Amino acid sequence: MREQTIGSWLGELASAEPAPGGGAVAAMHAAMAAGLVSMVCELTVGRPKYAEHEATMREVLKEAAERREEAVGLAEEDAKAFKGVTDAYKLPKGTDEEKASRTKAIQEALVEAAEVPLRTAALAAGILELAKRIRPGANVNVLSDVAVAAVSARAALQAAAVNVAVNRASMTDVVARARLEAELARIGDEVAAAEKFIKEIR
Amino acid sequence: MREQTIGSWLGELASAEPAPGGGAVAAMHAAMAAGLVSMVCELTVGRPKYAEHEATMREVLKEAAERREEAVGLAEEDAKAFKGVTDAYKLPKGTDEEKASRTKAIQEALVEAAEVPLRTAALAAGILELAKRIRPGANVNVLSDVAVAAVSARAALQAAAVNVAVNRASMTDVVARARLEAELARIGDEVAAAEKFIKEIR
């Protein structure tokens, strides 16, 4: 995906192929959030006015680059996990045995598919933390980019929640459903925290 | 930008070059929102179950493709408008005459730079309308992608507002400031409408 052109990727997103879809978009929001955090650090390091924040900026610079790579990786993984679900739905359902085995495969694939947006949400929450860490010492000329990074991280969280919820809706396992319910509540809290942070900067 | 790879664009975003920055990210959110609207239409057209919505889907399909192109165009324009501002700040300020002419150039560049996020916001609001139009007749299997499209459009709106506000903050013209204040209030309403729509789908 890193080597794909933006035009081509957007074209695939818009196509009848169901992947890339909402899951990849959630991860791309996180990638852009991490990219903006990096940019703010880059425009702050090495400037005497912000010398006391130099160490923080250098640390965050390293972490943000890693988070950006992870985000692109998750956009790719989402397509695979999605394929797992659609493949399971395509299994034969002629006999009772086939039906049972298909149902089991679908349920397993759904649990796996929900893991990707959960990881996207965790990643976005981590990027939001990076934005919070750099805010006090960020070059004031690019403070608005810290805010946009938070907007993108918020979008990644909210989009991830949509994707977790849609997988959860098809699950029959009570324990798995309850766990995802709790995760969704946590992501909801993170979205609210992101919104508060955006308002504070503005 | 269409021909640039995703890895390279994200790398530029993360670099010390101030553009692409938050303005381009806002436009890219809108491009992804439009892409998801297209995907939902593509996965709905031609299916007997959704025949009564066929005409709407075909209309929206055409519009969403146009909006996606416009969004990528705005991401590119934002970098140019931003350069206009930074170039103006670099003008000589030795004499009183130079100072006056530099101030004038900066103010003009700021007004122009604020136009791009305003257009991004208008575009994102339009894409949100497309998502609303397809919701009643969308293939239920990809209704979550309508929600993610709205999340992305919301992020485009909120990021655009951040960018309008930061340009406004440096403006001295009272009339221009008041106009942007009104525009910001309108964008705030659109963000709230998007949030409501996302909650309704979920």
* A123 pLDDT higher than 90: yes
Give residue A79's pLDDT.
86
CB contact A67 to B (< 8 Å): no
Residue B102 burial by Cβ neighbours in a 10 Å radius (0-12, 13-18, 19+): middle
Unique residue bearing structure tokens 């909006």 = B67
Question: Which of the residues B39, B67, B120 would you substitute to probe the A interface, choosing the one with the greatest number of A C-beta atoms within 10 Å?
Answer: B39
Q: Which residues contact A191 (CB under 8 A, 6 or more apart)?
A: A154, A157, A158, A161
Q: Centre a 10 Å sphere on the Cβ of residue A132 and count the other Cβ atoms it contains.
A: 16
Which residue's structure tokens are 């299997």? B141
Most B-contacting residue of A2, A10, A68, A140 (CB-CB within 10 A), to test interface: A10
User: How far from the centroid of its chain's Cα atoms is residue A168's Cα?
Assistant: 17
- Side chain identity at residue B98, one-letter code: E
Which of A3, A7, A22 is the closest to B148 by Cβ?
A22
Interface test mutation site (partner A, options B151, B167, B184, max chain A beta carbons within 10 A): B151
Q: Do A14 and B38 touch (CB under 8 A)?
A: yes
Judged against a pLDDT cut of 90, whether residue B176 lies above it is answered with: yes
pLDDT of residue A82: 86
Residue pLDDT, tens place only, B108-126: 999 998 999 999 999 999 9
CA angle B4, A1, B156 (to 5 degrees): 65
Quote the pTM value: 0.96
A172 in B contact zone (CB under 8 Å): no
Band the pLDDT of A202: cuts 50, 70, 90: confident
Which ranges of chain B would DSSP assign to H, the alpha helix?
6-14, 22-42, 54-89, 96-134, 143-169, 174-201
Strand partners, B5: A5
φ/ψ of A29, rounded to 5, equals: -60, -45
CA-CA distances (angstroms) from residue A78 to A126, B92, B156?
A: 19, 52, 23
Q: What is the pLDDT of residues A16-37, one digit of tens each?
A: 988 899 999 999 999 999 999 9
Across chain A, what does the average pLDDT equal? 96
Does A144 contact B154 at a Cβ distance shorter than 8 Å? no
A55-59, A173-177, B17-21 — most confident range: A55-59
Point out the residue among A5, A16, A18 whose CB comes nearest to the CB of B4. A5
B9 touches A at CB < 8 Å: yes
- Strand, coil or helix: B117: helix
Q: For A105-154, give the DSSP string.
A: HHHHHHHHHHHHHHHHHHHHHHHHHHHHHHGGGS-GGGHHHHHHHHHHHH
User: Does any CB of chain A come closer than 8 Å to the CB of residue B2?
Assistant: yes
> What pLDDT sits at residue A19?
86
Non-local (6+) Cβ contacts of B33 within 8 A are B124, B127, B128, B131, B149, B150, B152, B153, B156
Looking at residue B79, what is its pLDDT?
A: 86
> Cβ of B152 and A155 within 8 Å?
yes
Phi and psi (nearest 5°) for B198? -60, -45
| Residue ranges of A 27-66 with Cβ closer than 8 A to chain B | 28-29, 31-32, 34-36, 38-39, 42-43, 64-65
Average pLDDT for chain B: 96
What does DSSP assign to residue A12?
H
Q: What is the pLDDT of residue A11?
A: 97
Query: Which of the four CATH numbers 1.10.645.10, 1.20.1260.10, 3.40.50.1820, 1.20.120.680 does domain B18-201 have?
Result: 1.20.120.680
Closest Cα of chain B to A98: distance in Å? 23
pLDDT band, very low/low/confident/very high, at B89 (cuts 50, 70, 90) = very high
Other beta carbons less than 10 A from residue B182's beta carbon: 10
Instruction: Kindly list the residues from chain A whose CB atom is less than 8 angstroms away from the CB atom of residue B26.
Output: 148
- How buried is A196 (Cβ within 10 angstroms: 0-12 exposed, 13-18 middle, 19+ buried)? exposed
Domain boundaries, chain A: 18-201
Kindly list the residues from chain B whose CB atom is less than 8 angstroms away from the CB atom of residue A10. Answer: 31-32, 35, 68, 72
Number of C-beta neighbours around residue B194 at 10 A: 26
Q: How far apart are CA B92 and CA B89, in angstroms?
A: 8
Please give the Cα distance from A102 to A93 (Å, whole number).
7
Q: Give the rounded distance of the alpha carbon of B113 from its chain centre.
A: 13
- Which pLDDT score, from 0 to 100, does residue A71 have? 98
Q: Do B147 and A162 touch (CB under 8 A)?
A: yes
CA-CA-CA-CA torsion sign (B68, B69, B70, B71):
positive
